[in-house]
A and B are shown apart, each in its own frame.
Chain A
Amino acid sequence: MYKKLIFFLIWISLVHSIHAAQTIQVWFHSGKGEERKVLNEQVKRFNQMQQEIHVNLILLPEGSYNDQVNAAALAKDLPDLLDFDGPYIANYVWSGFLRPLDKLVNKEIIEDLLPSIINQGTYPGDGRLYSIGTFDSGLALWGNKQLLKKGGVRIPTSTKDAWNLKEFEEALAKLASTPGVKWPLDLKLNYGRGEWFTYGFSPILQSMGGDLIDRKRWVPSGTLNSKASIEAMGLLQKWVKQGWVVNAASGDNKFYGDKSVGLSWVGHWMWQAHKKGLGDDLVLIPMPRFGSKAVTGMGSWNWGITKKSKHPKLAAKFLEFLLQPEEVLRMANANGAVPARLTSIDQSSLYQKGGPLHLFIEQLKTIAVPRPFHPAYPILTSVYAEAVDHILAGGNVEIELNKAVRKIVEDIEDNDGYPPFGK
């Protein structure tokens, strides 16, 4: 009797192990609620539609995401597949976390990707593709049409008739004296010091002719603390000093909830909230030309497969599932991001020509500048965000930028110049 039972149990476990799904660990940053919801649902559907792979999704807080990836790398505990903010790719590949995707992911999918996605996912060290995003980002100004009209402000509609610096500042001044406007501009300072400061405000540097780092010699001195950069950061400080900018402690909803703000300087991810709050009063305005050209940010969270993964092919299968045009579209519709696949863009009511967010595509194709692809990026963004934080609080612009330069120079020195970069 017992013998039979034991045999039965062994048989069951054998059968089970043959048919058991291989589990792959997947990490995702818990950013916007809409994103989480869609991904959770995608994972659930993927796990149900096939028996081979079981995806175990783990959500990690966004603020300290990179720290957690580093800690896991140190503990040799990285998952099979993880997402990360685009510009970290150079650091992760240089450190040896990631494996190339060009042979793992179906060629047809790669050929259908938005050029900016390929650009963001390619490691300059060897020119191979290491990460793929299911969406790209868009950064522009969102306006409250009613308030802008009341203030007598011209509303540009394409990158060709974007405001220049003078017009932009005049618009802020006009809005400041418009009844119903408490603050002319929301810079999302409530996000706090972090990647937002680099993503959101380095386009001002680049627009004025400065940058975070010299992209040929890979040194920050003379670029991040150049005259153009100092002038650009001075502008940011001036707007705050004028009282034009929503302060950090005021919370997130002054533009779309209280409707007491004329312009909101933020990315695609606020689309749902803005549309819900403002309805037809919402208008998307191209990035201004502060200097000789307009510049916008690009790149968003990307997927990469780790070197330590024992099942890279299975991880790639899940990634391919996420990259199906309808899945890409599902995510993009939820978070308002630019769909990564050209096929999806054509199907997207938000992004196709005439759609309310088509401007993001136009900007990505013409004026987008990626954040620097250099292994020192984590420290670069960290010290730049700190400098921005201090500059917003009224610190001396030149001193703060020099401090940032010193820290980046020290880091590059500590890593022997990050070979093969800087040669």
Chain B
Amino acid sequence: MPSQQPASLRNIESRAAWGMLAPAMTLLIIFIVVPFFLAFLLSLTNERLIPRPIPTKWTGIRNYIRVLTDPDFWQALRNTFWFTFFIVPVQSSIGLGLALLINRQFKGNHIFRGIYFLPTVVPMVMVAIIWAGLLQAPEGVINGILRQISFDQIGPYDWLHHEWLAMPTIMLMSTWQGVGFQMIIYLAGLQNIPKELYEAARIDGANLWQLFWFITLPLLRNTHIVVLITTTILAFKLFTQVEVLTQGGPLGATNSLVRYIYVAGFQYQKVGLAAAASVIFFLIVLAIALCQHHLIQTDKD
């Protein structure tokens, strides 16, 4: 019976497919799905971080009410959005610019590649500590340079303790540290673009700007998507540099959502509250990811 042959084949194929999926699925379930549901359950209790002599109790949505009525939470949310909306376009375009610069064939281009990528390889904690030294006021290196080039007219500024300067300072140092990552992804994207396209366009009389605008940018479409989504998620996870440099200050101007969760869970030892904030954080990131996905889909059509 020839009609049954494909069905059994399909059966075997799908069994093989499930078999190959199984290890990854198991790990995903154990490390992502289960913890998420645990976090959701914990968010409905008064669970404490460390053992205590009294039992944990269900507290309903009390933790959610506490998070949502806490002005510090809203401030952290605003700060995180501001940071993300700045960092995503800026870091992506600088990353692309650097990638374009070092994508050319010249002697020692891999040395530049290494130099630009270096800050990204150095752990953020160390980068932040080095910047804390550079940003000292009034006698730090950066204030010194500003004073020199402005003939004593500008500064000194207390970069990390000034309500309006602290966040932009964190943004700048984060860009400096992270931009190598975007650069490397763009570099890979650039090297996938066939050279013939540029040659053909040259013959047609296209100038450099037209080459970039009509060939490089459109052909990097998939790279843009990767960079956009990863940079957004990385930006939302803002924590280390804030914790090291400002601890969320001054007046909460640099507090981030992840730091809010960290403080709730580790400093205040309120796992329940931290879990509630994490669930809210997850929903926000999910909403943004869905939005981006939707935009990319409609763009494709």
Contact = CB atoms under 8 A, between A and B. Distances in A.
Contacts of B136: 249-251
A227 to B, nearest CB: 23
B247 interface: yes
Contacts of B270: 411, 414
B136 to A, nearest CB: 5
Interface string B251-273: 11000000000010011111011
Nearest to B268: A379
A415 B273 CA distance: 13
Interface stretch (A99-107, A359-367, A387-395): A387-395
B267 A382 contact: yes
Interface string B132-145: 00011111100000
B42 interface: no
A407 B137 contact: no
B268 A411 contact: yes
Interface in B41-82: 46, 48-54, 57, 59, 66, 71-72
Nearest to B140: A249
Given A249-B137, A249-B140, A94 B53 contact: yes
Given A250-B137, A410-B66, A96 B53 contact: yes
B163 interface: yes
Contacts of A193: 247, 249
Contacts of B66: 410
Interface string A384-409: 00000110011100000001000100
Given A193-B249, A249-B140, A393 B49 contact: no
A70 B50 contact: yes
Which residue, A95, A96, A378, has most C-beta atoms of chain B within 10 A? Answer: A95
A419 interface: yes
Given A382-B267, A419-B54, A390 B49 contact: no
Nearest to A389: B249
Nearest to A248: B161
A74 interface: yes
Nearest to B247: A193
Nearest to B270: A414
Nearest to B57: A416
Nearest to A251: B136
Contacts of B158: 247-249
Given A193-B249, A247-B158, A70 B269 contact: yes
B65 to A, nearest CB: 11
A250 B138 contact: yes
Contacts of B139: 250-251
A124 interface: no
A95 B49 CA distance: 11
A378 B269 contact: yes
Determine the main DSSP class of B at the interface with A: loop
A192 interface: yes
A67 interface: yes
Given A249-B137, A249-B140, A407-B268, A393 B161 contact: yes
B247 to A, nearest CB: 5
A350 interface: no
B227 interface: no
A255 to B, nearest CB: 16
A218 to B, nearest CB: 15
A164 B49 CA distance: 44
Interface string B32-45: 00000000000000
Contacts of B266: 67, 70
Which residue, B71, B159, B250, has most C-beta atoms of chain A within 10 A? Answer: B250
B48 to A, nearest CB: 7
Interface string A231-265: 00000000000000001111100000000000000
B251 A415 contact: no
Given A249-B137, A382-B268, A415-B46, A390 B251 contact: yes
A96 B54 CA distance: 11
A393 B137 CA distance: 15
A5 B135 CA distance: 65
Contacts of A395: 251
B98 interface: no
B128 interface: no
A252 B50 CA distance: 35
A100 B249 CA distance: 39
Contact of B46 (A94, A96, A414, A419): A414
A165 B267 CA distance: 34
A382 B270 CA distance: 13
Nearest to A382: B267
A249 B247 contact: no
A239 B59 CA distance: 43
Which residue, B158, B267, B272, has most C-beta atoms of chain A within 10 A? Answer: B267
Contacts of A67: 266-267
B161 A247 contact: yes
A93 to B, nearest CB: 10
A45 B257 CA distance: 48
Contacts of B263: 382
A152 to B, nearest CB: 28
B252 A390 contact: yes
B179 interface: no
Interface in A83-115: 94-96
Contact of A415 (B54, B249, B252): B54
Contact of A416 (B54, B72, B140): B54
Nearest to B157: A249
B50 A74 contact: yes
A215 B270 CA distance: 23
B160 interface: yes
21 contacts: A67-B266, A67-B267, A70-B266, A74-B49, A94-B53, A95-B50, A193-B247, A248-B161, A249-B135, A249-B161, A250-B137, A250-B139, A390-B251, A393-B249, A394-B163, A394-B251, A411-B268, A414-B46, A414-B59, A414-B273, A416-B57
Interface of A: 67, 70, 73-74, 94-96, 192-193, 247-251, 378-379, 382-383, 389-390, 393-395, 403, 407, 410-411, 414-416, 419
Counting from the closest, the 3 A-B pairs by CB-CB distance are A393-B250, A249-B137, A414-B46
Given A250-B139, A419-B53, A419-B54, 15 more contacts: A74-B50, A74-B51, A95-B50, A96-B51, A193-B249, A247-B161, A249-B137, A249-B158, A249-B159, A249-B161, A379-B268, A390-B251, A390-B252, A393-B161, A393-B163
